[in-house]
Amino acid sequence: MLSLILSEISDIITSQIQTNLTNPMSFSNLKKQSSLGSLTSKLVKEVEKMNNSSGGSDDRLWKPEVDKAGNGYAVIRFLPAPDGEELPWAKMYSHAFQGPGGWYIENSLTTLGQKDPLGEYNRELWNSGNESDKDTVRKQKRKLSYYSNIYVVQDKANPENEGRVFLYKYGKKIFDKIMEAMQPEFEDETPINPFDFWQGANFKLKIKKVAGYWNYDSSEFDKTSQLFEDDDAMEGVWKKQHSLEQIVAPDQFKTYDQLEARLKLVLGQKKSAPSYDESYEDEDDSRGSFKPNFNKESVESVANTSPIESKDSDEDDALSYFQKLAEE
């Protein structure tokens, strides 16, 4: 994107130079050249956009954008389970923390119902009875994220996304809103299936910056409506969906031995681990999670990752939260 913009600037400059060669310099031509300032603004805007996106991002993933005040708004529609799959969401556990030997940013094997080396290490720390060890566990416990297919109804910050199907990563806060819609608390509220083409509802994603973090409390479902009047159009959207099962397929995870080797490197020590209740790690710390490692490559450092502050975090790049810790 940046190279295209630079190329565009180069072409315009070349064109103006050629014009000046055939036409003597005049005050009007000088004024025209000042229009390059608008290109500078455009370039700066594109750089800011790149800085606001995570490096090496997957183009299947949609991410809301906020303004300088930390506010954002978009309208999306959660889609049904993809063809041949049972659930309209995938559930992922991940870890991200910094140790003496670097960063540990990995998907957890507990997603697959398997033993995970960091989970076992956390058990040992928790069972030590030492409060400082428990604080360590809290900092490196697993984070919960969900993935669903969405149809972008409105995205004024990036209108090119409208009318397209993406994967959307979200956390417990938004998942709870989905559950509340399906199982309302009060008798006068009608349950809806947000993932239904015909009886679902658009989701108005409202982001506010509260105490320095993204907050989604004001987000809500709109009234029940059919996505399109035309079933053929909805079928076309359905066929464009991305596999959710593939996100949490076993081949998307590193092996126990690979994770253990990385963990030992990060910790700078070797530990054996007795058992403790892994469910403790499911506690929502309202800080952050991060996107799955589709390429199974370990992220060695997040020092160059632009932070995206989010207190509701399991929501967005938790790398942002840990980047903030690193800066502090």
What whole-number distance in Å separates Cα of residue 61 and Cα of residue 149? 9
Residues 236 and 256 in one domain: yes
Per-residue tokens: 103: 């960063």
Looking at the DSSP assignment, which residues form a beta bridge with residue 65? none
Checking if the pLDDT of 326 tops 70, the result is no
Q: Are 248 and 90 in contact (CB under 8 A)?
A: yes
pLDDT level of residue 217 (50, 70, 90 thresholds): very high
CA distances, 16 to each of 8, 40, 150, 214 (Å): 12, 16, 45, 45
Q: What is the pLDDT of residues 179-193, one digit of tens each?
A: 999 999 998 999 999
Work out the average pLDDT over 93-115. 95
Residues 194 and 168 in one domain: yes
Question: Where residue 247 sits, what CATH number does that domain have?
Answer: 3.90.198.10
Q: Are 288 and 320 in contact (CB under 8 A)?
A: yes
Mean pLDDT, the chain, rounded, equals 78
Residues 228 and 150 in one domain: yes
Q: What is the pLDDT of residues 39-87, one digit of tens each?
A: 455 555 555 554 544 445 689 999 999 999 899 999 999 999 999 999 9
Work out the average pLDDT over 166-170. 97
Checking if the pLDDT of 302 tops 60, the result is no
Q: Specify the pairing of strand 165-170 against strand 61-62.
A: parallel
What whole-number distance in Å separates Cα of residue 327 and Cα of residue 227? 44
Residues 311 and 187 in one domain: yes
What whole-number distance in Å separates Cα of residue 161 and Cα of residue 59? 11
The domain boundary, picked from 26, 50, 74, lies at 50
pLDDT level of residue 194 (50, 70, 90 thresholds): very high
Per-residue tokens: 313: 């975090």
pTM above 0.85, yes or no: no
Q: What are phi and psi of 77, to 5 degrees?
A: -130, 120
Work out the average pLDDT over 126-155. 94
Residues 68 and 44 in one domain: no
Of 165, 111, 164, 163, the closest CA to residue 282 belongs to 111
Residues 25 and 42 in one domain: yes
The domain boundary, picked from 50, 67, 88, lies at 50
Residues 141 and 279 in one domain: yes
Work out the average pLDDT over 287-297. 39
CA distances, 149 to each of 90, 227, 283, 321 (Å): 10, 14, 25, 25
Residues 15 and 90 in one domain: no
Residues 118 and 144 in one domain: yes
Q: Are 94 and 142 in contact (CB under 8 A)?
A: yes
Which range marks the domain in which residue 43 is found?
A: 2-50
Per-residue tokens: 162: 């409208």
CA distances, 112 to each of 116, 199, 249 (Å): 10, 32, 8
Packing angle of the helix pair 256-267, 117-127 (nearest 10 deg)? 50
Residues 46 and 59 in one domain: no
Checking if the pLDDT of 102 tops 60, the result is yes
The predicted structure's pLDDT at residue 211: 86
Q: 222 or 26, which is more confident? A: 222
Of 110, 112, 111, the closest CA to residue 121 belongs to 110
The domain boundary, picked from 50, 72, 90, lies at 50
How many structural domains compose the chain?
2
Quickly tell me which residue has 């980047």 as its tokens: 323
Of 37, 89, 94, the closest CA to residue 298 belongs to 94
pLDDT level of residue 32 (50, 70, 90 thresholds): low
SS (H, E, C) 305-325: CCCCCECCHHHCEHHHHHHHH
Residues 240 and 125 in one domain: yes
Q: Is 303 exposed, middle or buried (0-12, 13-18, 19+ CB in 10 A)?
A: exposed
Q: What is the pLDDT of residues 151-161, one digit of tens each?
A: 999 999 999 99
Work out the average pLDDT over 213-236. 95
Secondary structure letter of residue 198 according to DSSP: T
Residues 45 and 130 in one domain: no
Quickly tell me which residue has 């910050």 as its tokens: 157
